[in-house]
Amino acid sequence: MITSAMGSATDWTEVRDDFPILSSVNARGQRLVYLDSAASSQKPISVIEALDRYYRETNANIHRGVYDLSERATAQYEAARATVADFINAASPREVIFVRNATEAINLVAQSWGRRNIGAGDLIVVTTMDHHSNIVPWQLLAEERGARVAAVRLTPDGQLDLDHYRGLLAEQPKLVAFPHVSNGLGTINPAAEMIRLTHDAGAVVMLDGAQSVPHMPVDVQALDADFLAFSGHKMLGPMGSGALYGKRALLEAMPPALGGGGMIRKVTLEQSTWADVPARFEAGTPAVADAVGLGAAIEYLQAVGMEHIAAHERALTARALEALREVPDLTIYGPADPAVHAGVISFTLGDIHPHDVAAILNEENVAVRAGHHCCQPLMQWLGVPATTRASFYLYNVDEDIDRLLSALHRARAIFAA
């Protein structure tokens, strides 16, 4: 890799060359244009090699092994935790819990913090733009505890209605769950301001960072986030890697969500006591190699530089928004201002069903997603059953937008009556 955090003139096509899958071609020789990073990112060779190296040289179960191999595996696992903590500027690696994905992270908070702190009649606030993973766990909890769930409305251009939000805060919710960046609209929410308002109202914040942590600098201390969930596989890491950040005082007051090995202090047949955090929340053998791979992914991102990546994606998004506006019959959802529109662009093309658009794009080897994006309440608000969604990452280049545009014109031509 030739890029550096200080490099002013990164050649993004050389970044792309670090990702083996992106050099693949279809039967007609068309290079893959991967525009579905909001669903899952591709992996650089350094991450693939880290997994390979772990299994060749280090594999053993961690903790309590007295032999060298287990000690090395343990050290690598904990080093990965420290890398994650550093990446989001957590005060301590103890505030980082390894999970499979953001969904599991949020469910952990709901099942542990939620069962301890949410009671009958309590209010939980979510938003109309949340991913199902930041809605359904709270609905399950609310049903169990007799609590209620209310959703923040959206402004016409797909931003959170902060006046409505202030009104909900006046009802003194116990917890507020919202996405840092919307996976269905690309909206960048004013997380720092919302967290300040939330804390002023005495509530705890569950911030869904699945679409922000991979793409922009995220500092949990500057944000003052209580909980932050994100998925490793969306940030160049292995499938099945992810993390939950929680403020140490909150985590230490929480009961385990899963019982088993590794999370205990002492077990008798009558009762058990719990290990300190974060081990308390990591019952059973964890995905050690995947955590190590996530560490390698973060090292790659840090070498390129998160500010640098964010600027690259802003430029791609601005260019794409401008170009897509020129396509007849194409409707773009979400904010028009690229300053609050991350590299996730949801659109519909006339009356053509989003799945047909995506299928025709696929025939041109352009990979986009079509559907409800696990945001059915958002689709209901938009008044459409589905959208087509193109999303960018550091390995995308201007040529990818050109390929997207030409494939969209082909879709229009095919469906023109």
Partner 1 sequence: MSDSVYREAILDHSRNPRNKGTLEPSDFTYEDVNPLCGDEIRIDVRTDGERVTEIRFSGRGCAISQAAASMLTEMVEGRPLDEVKAISRDDMLEELGVPISPARMKCAMLGLKVLKAGIYGVSPADEAL
CA distance 50 to 232: 14
Strands (E), 76-226: 96-99, 123-127, 148-152, 175-179, 204-208
Catalytic entry in 194, 374, 390, 394:
374
Q: How far is the CB of 69 from partner 1 (least distance, A)?
A: 41
For the segment 357-396, give every residue that binds partner 1 (CB under 8 A).
359-360, 363, 371-372, 385-386
Nearer to partner 1, 300 or 333 (CB): 333
Q: Which residue blocks in 181-270 are alpha helix, DSSP H?
A: 191-200, 220-223, 248-252
Q: How many residues bind partner 1 (CB under 8 A)?
A: 16
Q: Exposed (0-12), middle (13-18) or buried (19+): which is 390, by Cβ within 10 Å?
A: buried
CA distance 140 to 352: 36
Region of 398 (left: φ > 0; alpha: ψ -120 to 50; beta: rest) is: alpha
Pick the binder of partner 1 from 132, 153, 174, 355 (CB under 8 A).
355
Nearer to partner 1, 180 or 369 (CB): 369
| Annotated catalytic residue 374 | yes
CB-based burial, 219-239: b 16+ in 10 Å, e otherwise: ebeebebbbbbbbbbbbbbbe
Q: How far is CA 274 from the centre of its chain?
A: 29
Q: How far is the CB of 313 from partner 1 (least distance, A)?
A: 28
**By CB under 8 A, which span of 231-239, 247-255, 347-355, 397-405 interacts with partner 1?**
347-355
The CA-based angle 389-11-312, given to 5 degrees, is: 40
How many residues would you count in the chain? 417
For the segment 3-42, give every residue that binds partner 1 (CB under 8 A).
27-28
Nearer to partner 1, 81 or 369 (CB): 369
Q: How far is the CB of 391 from partner 1 (least distance, A)?
A: 19
Nearer to partner 1, 345 or 360 (CB): 360
Nearer to partner 1, 149 or 360 (CB): 360
Q: How far is the CB of 132 from partner 1 (least distance, A)?
A: 13
Q: Is residue 412 a contact point for partner 1 (CB under 8 A)?
A: no
Q: How far is the CB of 329 from partner 1 (least distance, A)?
A: 15
Report the amino acid identity of residue 393.
Y
Provide the binding-site residues for partner 1, judged by CB under 8 A.
Answer: 27-28, 352-353, 355-356, 359-360, 363, 371-372, 385-386, 414-415, 417
- Active site amino acids: 374
